[in-house]
Amino acid sequence: MKLKFQCPDCGTPLGYEGLCWKCKAEHDRREVLAWTPEQITEKQEGLIRNIQRLADMEDPECTDFWQLLSYRDAITPEIQRAALDAKVFYPCELYYRAPDDVRDGLITALLETGNSQDASNLMSCLAMQGDEKALETLLELEKNPRPWRKSLYVDPSIYAQCGGWTFDREGQRTQLNFDTCFSLVKGAPGKESPIHIGRARENTCPHCGGRMVDMLVLDGRDERLKFLGIDGILTATCCPNCVGFLEGPAFNRFTLDGGVEIFPSELFDGAEKMDCYIRPEDYKELTENPFVLGKVPVPLFYGAACEDVNTIGGFANWVQDWEYTTCPHCGKPMKYLAQIQWDTVMDGTEGTLYIEFCPDCHIVSMQHQQT
């Protein structure tokens, strides 16, 4: 059936008149990036006045919060203090790097609560605050759990991961994400970039027979990517058809000269074979996408609240819960590297591919989440 309308920006066929969702998201983002200082102040003051509406996920406060955080890095200590005073502990990103007085208020509330849901939210907030005193508090609760721990699924060290870090029983911190973020933007066809999404390989998937794809090829020697500490090429390879059906993530080892060793994998249901749902035209769209590395860093949460932005570093937009893979070689948690939104590179697909890596073992993991 032929659809009646087209997106006026990109020409995508639509069943309604107006912009497609991706062009609408880009349009809204450009508007926020063009806010004047006066407009930013107005949004901040409105959020302070109506902070309880944020906890209830009401608009415009909810949208204003995520736009201020993601695109303008403009969540102030005054907003954080207003949230603490109103006992607003969701979303936890409210408290990213909050000042000492706010941190102390979160700790007091956490140590006083007897409610497991409140404890869960407060540990996430404290993880986002993330300083050494936050670590000490979560470590103490891991060693000496309160009664509410029995009602939770994971330990405080796992809650710490939502803030991009974790710790061991000795209190040693491990950083799980990078303090720099770049977005991938649409560039001219054939434009040179140290990052490429979707490079076709000759070998095929043992499960579905489809083409294996280098989902991410990254040259860490580019000046913009020096923060990754990769002195060469990282390649993340998987079957785009099967990666969402595996028993755990897909893994490969990379060599800095561009080599790849793909690890064996198993389907989640124990089967050996499955159908390949990706058509030749889908592979073509994936491997000919226009994304290149942006010129300058963006805020750390730039891609953490939208489904149309691919990012390197910073924080991910976890569809479900955050999930840091354990390196199959050394047993340490891997570092979050990148997210690729499937619908940005293959139209009509769902979910997100999260790419993590072990800097010591040169092993990459790729995992898929969707609603």
Q: Provide the 10 A C-beta neighbour count for residue 291.
A: 20
Q: How confident is the model at residue 191 (pLDDT cuts 50, 70, 90)?
A: confident
**Mean pLDDT of the residues in the chain:** 96
Instruction: Write the pLDDT tens digit of every residue in 309-350.
Output: 999 999 999 999 999 999 999 999 999 999 999 999 998 899
Q: Which two three-digit tokens encode residue 213?
A: 């794809």
3-state secondary structure 242-291: CHHHECCCEEEEECCECCEEECCCCECCCCCCCCCCCCHHHHHHHHCCCE
Q: How confident is the model at residue 190 (pLDDT cuts 50, 70, 90)?
A: low
Note the pLDDT of residue 192. 85
Note the pLDDT of residue 3. 86
pTM of the model: 0.95
Alpha-carbon gap, residue 328 to 35, rounded angstroms: 46
248 closest CA partner among 183, 328, 188: 328
For residue 189, pLDDT over 70 is answered with: no
* Section 191-207 average pLDDT: 94
Alpha-carbon gap, residue 235 to 309, rounded angstroms: 20
* Section 17-45 average pLDDT: 95
Instruction: Write the pLDDT tens digit of every residue in 80-92.
Output: 999 999 999 999 9
Note the pLDDT of residue 188. 67
Alpha-carbon gap, residue 143 to 168, rounded angstroms: 11
Note the pLDDT of residue 41. 98
Note the pLDDT of residue 2. 81
Higher model confidence: residue 339 or residue 11? Answer: 339
Q: Which two three-digit tokens encode residue 171?
A: 């209190």
Note the pLDDT of residue 11. 87
For residue 260, pLDDT over 80 is answered with: yes
Angle, CA 45 vertex, CA 43 and CA 47 arms, to 5°: 70
For residue 219, pLDDT over 90 is answered with: yes
Instruction: Annotate 155-210 with DSSP letters as a single string.
Output: -HHHHGGGGTEEE-TT--EEE-S-S-EEEEEE--TT---SEEEEEEEEEE-TTT-P
